[in-house]
Structure 1
């Protein structure tokens, strides 16, 4: 099983020249915790996560010495830290050394990368362009669908069916596709994620059931709390 078999394909990103306020609004609107940062050619330049933003909050609230005391004290990263804490530009705040993978990277290798680098997600690239995200949640969902302890290698039919599922979910009214994960194995489609209501969950099930090649559909959708919608 490879990255392309489990990745979330509806990727919400932010431009390199965007503002922190724009990025925060995207995170809130789409209920996500990180954004790939892209240049004007669509190439991956960095990643802006809730961790990057929370560091700004923590460092702002914690006592700090005067900048000139830090310079005389030998702190070499003072100027860089100042920019990351005070700038409103995404490119100044983002993490630049991003661990990424290709579509054909195995799930086992992705799991090792997440563990090695202590990260929660990796962008998936195709010819330098971001085409998906694999998170810890994607890995857990794939594992939970296993009938045994061996990750199966999807057939070409399953991979083609996965593309159909992706398109079908995008047509479900109001569905937040970036919050939906799915796997396909021998024509069985397992869907996890978040739905606004029982009606939307049923709409997701029907959309997948109507696809040719689908033998069975397992839908397990959660609900976001009211505060997540600003209610």
Structure 2
């Protein structure tokens, strides 16, 4: 399974010069936890997350503390996205293996990763996207693979699909090795399929 199979596209983005309130509103409206940040030319220059937006934005309540702190001047609150974003974000490609994407996200402790092709952000993959695919049942996978193979066979049931623990087994006859390869590739394109075997 590839990043392009599970990525969200089109991507909601924000410009680095926009007010942080714009980024916060976009996250709330679209139910996302991070946004790719673009420069004026549309190139990816960073990522901004909910945590980045909260930094210095929530004022402390002096009545909530038992010991009163001496009065101090509040720090200047960041006003634009460029002041709070994380620069040089980790990215991936549309053809990247989802297992590699997940491992990289965990290793670098990032919750979402922009998908970039030819310098353009074409999608985004989040941990939630990966989890959503991984928890699909064998029955759902079997139904989707069977549907794709039946469509390829012009509506005829030439192959039978059985799925166990995400591994697809395809039973049936093939006209040649090319058709065998096409059928296996079609089965692998279903998000959540771990492997494909033949009887």
CA gap of 1:41–1:28, structure 2 versus 1, over 3 A, is same
Which whole-Å deviations, capped at 9, do the CAs of 1:209-230 have from their partners, x for residues lacking one? xxxxxxxxxxxxxxxxxxxxxx
Contact in 2 for aligned 1:143/1:151 (Cα 8 Å): no
CA distance in 2, matches of 1:128, 1:99: 13
SS at match of 1:28: helix
CA distance in 1, matches of 2:83, 2:60: 20
What's the counterpart of residue 100 of structure 1?
91
Which whole-Å deviations, capped at 9, do the CAs of 1:119-164 have from their partners, x for residues lacking one? 11111000111111111111112112263445789836986xx9xx
Is there any run of 5+ residues in structure 2 with no aligned partner, and where? Answer: 62-68, 139-163, 169-182, 194-199
CA distance in 2, matches of 1:20, 1:126: 27
What's the counterpart of residue 31 of structure 1?
31
SS at match of 1:35: strand
CA distance in 2, matches of 1:144, 1:151: 14
SS at match of 1:102: coil
Contact in 1 for aligned 2:36/2:44 (Cα 8 Å): yes
CA distance in 2, matches of 1:45, 1:11: 15
Which whole-Å deviations, capped at 9, do the CAs of 1:171-214 have from their partners, x for residues lacking one? xxxxxxxxxxxx497xxxxxxxxxxxxxxxxxxxxxxxxxxxxx
CA distance in 2, matches of 1:13, 1:101: 16
Once the two structures are TM-superposed, the CA of residue 21 in structure 1 deviates from its matched residue by: 1.4
Which aligned pairs between 1:145-224 and structure 2 lie closer than 5 A? 145=136, 147=138, 148-149=164-165, 155=185, 183=191
CA distance in 1, matches of 2:103, 2:10: 24
CA distance in 2, matches of 1:45, 1:184: 31
Which whole-Å deviations, capped at 9, do the CAs of 1:62-93 have from their partners, x for residues lacking one? 879979xxxxxxxxxxxxxx6xx622111111
Once the two structures are TM-superposed, the CA of residue 56 in structure 1 deviates from its matched residue by: 2.2
1:61 aligns with 2:60: yes
What's the counterpart of residue 134 of structure 1?
125
CA distance in 2, matches of 1:64, 1:13: 41
> Which structure has the greater CA radius of gyration?
2
Q: How many residue pairs end up in the alignment?
A: 146
What's the counterpart of residue 47 of structure 1?
47
CA distance in 2, matches of 1:64, 1:145: 55
